Amino acid sequence: MSRLGVFDVSVRYGKVPALTDVSLNIGEGERVFISGPNGAGKSSLLKAISGAVPTAHGRIELDGDLLTGQSPEAIARLGLSMVPEGREIFGRLTVEENLRVGTGIRRDADAVEGDIAEIYRAFPILAERRHASAGALSGGQQQMLAIGRALMTNPKLMMVDEPSLGLAPKIVDQVYDTLVALQEERGLTLLIVEQSSVRAGRVGGRMILLRGGKVVGEGDAVAFADKDALTEAYFGKTGKEAAE
Amino acid sequence: MPDKHTQNRLLAHSTPLILALILLTFVAAVALTGDRALARMAAETLVRVTLVVGLWIFVGNSGVISFGHAGYMAIGAYCSAWLTLKPQAKALFLPDLPAWLASAEWHVFPAAIASGLLAAFVALVSGAAILRLSGIAASIATFAFLAIVYTVYSNWEGVTGATSSVVGLTRYVGPWVALAWAVAAIVAANLYANSASGLALRATREDEVAARASGIDQYRHRLLSLVISGFFTGVAGALFGHSLGVLNPDSFYLGITFIALAMLVVGGIGSLSGAVTGVLVLSLLIEALVRLEQGVSIGAAALALPSGAQEILIGVVMILVLILRPAGLTGGAEFRLRARTSRLSFDQEQTTTN
Amino acid sequence: MNTLAQLFFDAASLGGIYAMAALGIALIFGVMNLVNFAHGQYIAFCVFALIVPSTDAVAVVFLGRAPAFLLIPLLLAVGAAAAVASEYAVFRHMRKATPVAMMISSFALGFVIQNALLATYGGRPKAISLWPELNTPVTVIGASVPLLQVIVILTTLIVVAGLALLLKKTRIGLEMRAAAENFTMARLLGVRANVVITGAFALSGALAAAVALIMATQTGVADVRMGGQIMLVAFIATVIGGLGSLPGAVAAGFLIGAASVLLQAYLPLDARPFRDAFLYTLVIVSLLVRPQGLFVPSSAKPRV
């Protein structure tokens, strides 16, 4: 049973096409990576799914609920959560306030408190700084906060856009370890935009390659960690031939 | 045969010709009817063209909304009054004028130029203070500037007559005089818009950061456009005073600020043709509404719009335009000839109100 | 006799009015980058809501006849309703417009409201008699000040504290603060844009009503032009305080109030009528020195 269905979605910024007829499916509990060169449309895909940008045409569904045409807040309430590129934490709010912004959509106050405690267990550094201004955190800490914040909406599907951006490799390791652990604990479905196919291969999961706004490859992430497969996907068969 | 790009650049100068032609036709048509009231309306309309085109030179190119231009109008208007009124009248009504000003009795044309120059100078000073601010903050600061001018002119009894009107200005501004100045303003506006400074300024209107990265000094260009804008706005003020014959600080406060902005917005804030179009369209609307306010008498029953209805309607029109078609009637495009075809057409330069 | 204490009360009460007016503007600007030029007219609207529509010179107090405990919440509701109505009518349709376009349309809206008041009530200022007993002087720390001034100062403190509490401790307050910082991100977390925006307008309108009550009582006059006058000061306070900063708006409001009172007290008699011109010149000077606002850290990037 597919959790997320994207059907023939196109996104345009004015006259410039960012995505053209992209289709994909993500099953429950899956871990899917989206990779591709700059400008391939990876962020646009996530923005279209989350409702941050409108689609020119196409349909997006989450567990049968129609997402296209809905406002971002309605989509969040349907069970989709997003950790955007650059984290975008609320710097002027405290760490704890950041975590609580998304809890407005939940009815179960006790479960909310339980979740907050859970996040603090998973990210002890956040617990230490719970009343500090979020803007004072380091990049890696902000990434943890952004993930924790997205989890607080109790999502079915969580999308993470470039978790490794601007972070030291060791920190990125930590971030991914946490993501994988959280996924296993909660049965979360994950959609991750990750520029480094090597990294994706190491973490493991399914990989969808985008180039020029279109899907150009799909398969096991490990397979795309291979340089040749990647070159072919990025530059097309001619790229390889041209190099010879 | 020059290449298409050069052709286009040269043909950009067809815009003032087309606009001048439209206005000329308008004035000629009115002159043919011989109707005095219509002639007055035509003169009023053309003075507004000078004003709104003057306003556009700054607002349209920089993207910064100025609420302070009525202040430059006031400065120009009273300057022309000081220079052209008979010394006897000035001695009576404006006793605190410095001697050289009180005894001055200039011809109206150099007085108009001087008014423009004084307003331009004040624009330079006020701009130096205000234009380093970011767009919205600068706009609010222009409001402060307007308030300063209004407060000073409404209280300085000996020099401006304060709240009592200054009367006796020579009413030399008929449709043809107003047309001449309107065309001058349009030509100047077009020249500036197509100059290096104008183009650079419009670049900053689109994207401040990118423009700065390209080495454009936004502040300097804003200042230049404001000074030129101030000149024509000051002249418009002088023309306004001399078409009415009477001056009062209240004429240069919120009412005229609102109307000028409305005309700019409705016509299309991005283009010179938009400025002119807005003036023509709204002037027609205002004329119609004024007639309705005076009452259309059908036998015994007299239908009249309550006072204030005119402004309400124009306000509503303005809001509707901003919601439905923010780029205005012209969509920010200019009336001009395009290269390699000699058909009149729209050339999309830009399509958003900034 | 201008004793220091009297000057203090004058400054604090005038500053309080300006601070509350500026707060109304800063709230909306913080949440949606909208400079609401119609705000002054919400204030005027509330003042005129107190009296029966007519063009007579002396106003017949209508709503204003209700006892205080009824009138205050009622007028606050009227103010909130007026602001929310204007949001539904105009600003809701401009969510994707540029800040400049929104600013111009708020200017147009203000003009429309002002002229609607003009058409309904006529242009002559009317006398209103609202709680005239509050203008009787009381003695506080040696100065003889109208009771109203003390009430204004207290009200401002209560309003500011109440607003701070609302923003810091309530759900809607949290959502507003998050939306003010990053609207899109807040929406991605389920924060409903309409709720936050309507809430901001309602608060803003209520603040306008509070200012209206004070001005009506203090001046005893309903004039269609009163909206424009206070609006200008409120805007200037918002800019000096740093656009979008609530504490900045409050501080700047008090600062301008103090400057205005001091100018009035110490300017030579001939220059007194030009007090406003001096005030606004000071404003422009302060903007030159610190364009980002007086109460914002230098490192703050411009919000617009």
DSSP string, A22-63: EEEEEETT-EEEEE-STTSSHHHHHHHHHTSS--SEEEEEET
* Residue B343 reports pLDDT greater than 50: no
Share of chain C above pLDDT 70, in %: 91
In this structure, the number of other CB atoms found within 10 A of the CB of residue B132 comes to 17
* Residue C241 reports pLDDT greater than 80: yes
Q: Using an 8 Å CB-CB cutoff, list chain A residues near C183.
A: none
CA dist list (Å): A157 to A192, B254, C23? 11, 54, 40
Structure tokens belonging to residue C223: 């004039």
Tell me the nearest-neighbour CA distance from C177 into chain A, angstroms.
8
Per-residue pLDDT band for B22 (boundaries 50, 70, 90) equals: very high
Share of chain C above pLDDT 90, in %: 43
Phi, psi for C76 (deg, rounded to 5): -60, -40
Per-residue pLDDT band for B339 (boundaries 50, 70, 90) equals: low
Q: Higher-confidence residue: C2 or A112? A: A112
User: What is the largest distance, in Å, between two alpha-carbon atoms of chain B?
Assistant: 69
Per-residue pLDDT band for C297 (boundaries 50, 70, 90) equals: low
pLDDT for A238 equals 54
Whether residue C188 and residue A72 make contact (CB cut-off 8 A), yes or no, is: yes
Mean pLDDT, to the nearest integer, of B138-159? 90
Q: How far apart are CA B198 and CA A218, in angstroms?
A: 51
* Residue B213 reports pLDDT greater than 90: no
Which range among A75-79, C52-56, C135-139 shows the weakest confidence by mean pLDDT?
C52-56
Tell me the nearest-neighbour CA distance from C124 into chain B, angstroms.
13
Mean pLDDT, to the nearest integer, of A7-29? 91
**pLDDT (tens digit per residue) in A49-82:** 999 999 999 999 999 899 999 999 999 999 999 9
Structure tokens belonging to residue B181: 């100045």
* Residue B353 reports pLDDT greater than 50: no
Instruction: Determine the residue among A80, A90, A93 to mutate to test chain C binding: the one whose Cβ has the most chain C Cβ atoms within 10 Å.
Output: A90
* Residue B284 reports pLDDT greater than 60: yes
User: What is the largest distance, in Å, between two alpha-carbon atoms of chain A?
Assistant: 63
Q: Which residue of C99, C100, C287 is in closest CB contact with B133?
A: C287
Residue A140 and residue A167 in contact, taking contact as beta carbons nearer than 8 Å: yes
pLDDT for A70 equals 93
Which range among C29-38, C210-219, C265-274 shows the weakest confidence by mean pLDDT?
C265-274
pLDDT for A243 equals 54
Structure tokens belonging to residue A13: 């910024």
Residue B312 and residue C112 in contact, taking contact as beta carbons nearer than 8 Å: yes
* Residue C301 reports pLDDT greater than 50: no
Report how many Cβ contacts below 8 Å link chain B to chain C. Answer: 134
**pLDDT (tens digit per residue) in A135-187:** 999 988 999 999 999 999 999 999 999 988 888 888 888 889 888 988 888 88
Q: Does C187 touch chain A (CB under 8 A)?
A: yes
Q: What is the overall mean pLDDT for chain B?
A: 86
Locus of tokens 């058409």: C119
DSSP β-ladder status, A2-13 and A16-27: antiparallel
Instruction: Determine the residue among A53, A70, A98, A101 to mutate to test chain C binding: the one whose Cβ has the most chain C Cβ atoms within 10 Å.
Output: A101
Which range among B69-78, B265-274, B327-336, C74-83 shows the weakest confidence by mean pLDDT?
B327-336
Tell me the nearest-neighbour CA distance from B86 into chain C, angstroms.
28
Helices (H), chain C: 4-32, 39-49, 68-89, 99-121, 147-169, 171-181, 183-188, 193-219, 226-241, 246-266, 275-289
Q: How far apart are CA C254 and CA C20, in angstroms?
A: 10
* Residue B318 reports pLDDT greater than 80: yes
Those residues whose C-beta lies under 8 Å from the C-beta of residue A1, and which sit 6 or more positions away, are A27, A28
Mean pLDDT, to the nearest integer, of B117-121? 97
pTM check: above 0.90: no
Whether residue A90 and residue C178 make contact (CB cut-off 8 A), yes or no, is: yes
* Residue B160 reports pLDDT greater than 80: yes
DSSP β-ladder status, A31-35 and A189-193: parallel
Mean pLDDT, to the nearest integer, of A20-41? 90
Mean pLDDT, to the nearest integer, of A117-139? 89
Q: Report the chain C residue with the minimal C-alpha distance to residue B259.
A: C108
Per-residue pLDDT band for B277 (boundaries 50, 70, 90) equals: very high
* Residue C1 reports pLDDT greater than 50: no
Per-residue pLDDT band for C60 (boundaries 50, 70, 90) equals: low
* Residue C303 reports pLDDT greater than 60: no
CA dist list (Å): C4 to A172, B273, C10, C137, C144? 63, 58, 10, 16, 11
If we measure between CA atoms, which residue out of C193, C183, C164, C178 comes closest to residue A100? C178
Q: Does A77 touch chain C (CB under 8 A)?
A: yes
Whether residue A50 and residue C190 make contact (CB cut-off 8 A), yes or no, is: no
**pLDDT (tens digit per residue) in C184-220:** 999 999 999 999 999 999 999 999 999 998 888 888 8
Q: Using an 8 Å CB-CB cutoff, list chain C residues near A76.
A: 187-190
Those residues whose C-beta lies under 8 Å from the C-beta of residue C9, and which sit 6 or more positions away, are C140, C143, C145, C149, C150, C153
In this structure, the number of other CB atoms found within 10 A of the CB of residue C299 comes to 6
* Residue C304 reports pLDDT greater than 80: no
Whether residue C119 and residue B308 make contact (CB cut-off 8 A), yes or no, is: yes
Q: How far apart are CA C269 and CA C279, in angstroms?
A: 16
pLDDT for A23 equals 93
CA dist list (Å): B76 to A153, B90, B122, B303, C276? 62, 17, 10, 39, 22
Instruction: Determine the residue among C223, C281, C284 to mutate to test chain B binding: the one whose Cβ has the most chain B Cβ atoms within 10 Å.
Output: C284
Q: How far apart are CA C96 and CA B323, in angstroms?
A: 10
Q: How far apart are CA C49 and CA C117, in angstroms?
A: 10
Range ranked top by mean pLDDT from A184-188, A217-221, C96-100, C107-111: C107-111
Q: How far apart are CA B27 and CA B30, in angstroms?
A: 5
Mean pLDDT, to the nearest integer, of B83-104? 86
If we measure between CA atoms, which residue out of C99, C121, C78, C128 comes closest to residue C36? C99
Mean pLDDT, to the nearest integer, of B111-121? 96
Mean pLDDT, to the nearest integer, of B41-55? 95
Q: How many CA atoms lie within 13 A of B251 on its CB side?
A: 21
Q: Using an 8 Å CB-CB cutoff, list chain B residues near C256.
A: none
Per-residue pLDDT band for B352 (boundaries 50, 70, 90) equals: very low
Mean pLDDT, to the nearest integer, of C133-147? 80
Structure tokens belonging to residue B314: 């124009």
pLDDT for A160 equals 94
Q: How many CA atoms lie within 13 A of C114 on its CB side?
A: 26
Mean pLDDT, to the nearest integer, of C36-45? 94
Q: How far apart are CA B285 and CA B291, in angstroms?
A: 10
Q: Does C174 touch chain A (CB under 8 A)?
A: yes
In this structure, the number of other CB atoms found within 10 A of the CB of residue C119 comes to 20
Share of chain B above pLDDT 90, in %: 50
Residue C208 and residue C42 in contact, taking contact as beta carbons nearer than 8 Å: yes
**pLDDT (tens digit per residue) in C8-26:** 888 999 999 999 999 999 9
Residue B22 and residue B346 in contact, taking contact as beta carbons nearer than 8 Å: no
pLDDT for A31 equals 93
Structure tokens belonging to residue B56: 């556009």
Q: Which residues pair with A66 in a beta bridge?
A: A61
Q: How far apart are CA C251 and CA C245, in angstroms?
A: 10
Residue B143 and residue C238 in contact, taking contact as beta carbons nearer than 8 Å: no
Residue B23 and residue B179 in contact, taking contact as beta carbons nearer than 8 Å: yes
DSSP states of B14-38: HHHHHHHHHHHHHHHHHHHHT-HHH
Q: How far apart are CA A137 and CA C144, in angstroms?
A: 52
pLDDT for C20 equals 94
Q: Does C175 touch chain A (CB under 8 A)?
A: yes
DSSP β-ladder status, A80-83 and A157-161: parallel
ipTM for this prediction: 0.90
Locus of tokens 């990265």: B213
Q: How many CA atoms lie within 13 A of B105 on its CB side?
A: 9
Locus of tokens 């960690």: A225
Q: How far apart are CA B104 and CA C186, in angstroms?
A: 65
Whether residue C93 and residue B133 make contact (CB cut-off 8 A), yes or no, is: no
In this structure, the number of other CB atoms found within 10 A of the CB of residue A113 comes to 11
Q: Which residue of A76, A84, A100 is in closest CB contact with C174?
A: A100
Residue B19 and residue B224 in contact, taking contact as beta carbons nearer than 8 Å: no
Q: Does C134 touch chain A (CB under 8 A)?
A: no
* Residue C296 reports pLDDT greater than 70: no
All chains having 3 or more CB pairs closer than 8 angstroms to chain B: C
State the sign of the Cα–Cα–Cα–Cα dihedral C91, C95, C97, C102.
positive
Per-residue pLDDT band for C264 (boundaries 50, 70, 90) equals: confident
Q: Which three-class secondary structure state does DSSP give residue A9? A: strand
Q: Does C52 touch chain B (CB under 8 A)?
A: no
Phi, psi for B297 (deg, rounded to 5): -90, 120
Which range among A228-237, C29-38, C277-286 shows the weakest confidence by mean pLDDT?
A228-237
* Residue B97 reports pLDDT greater than 90: no
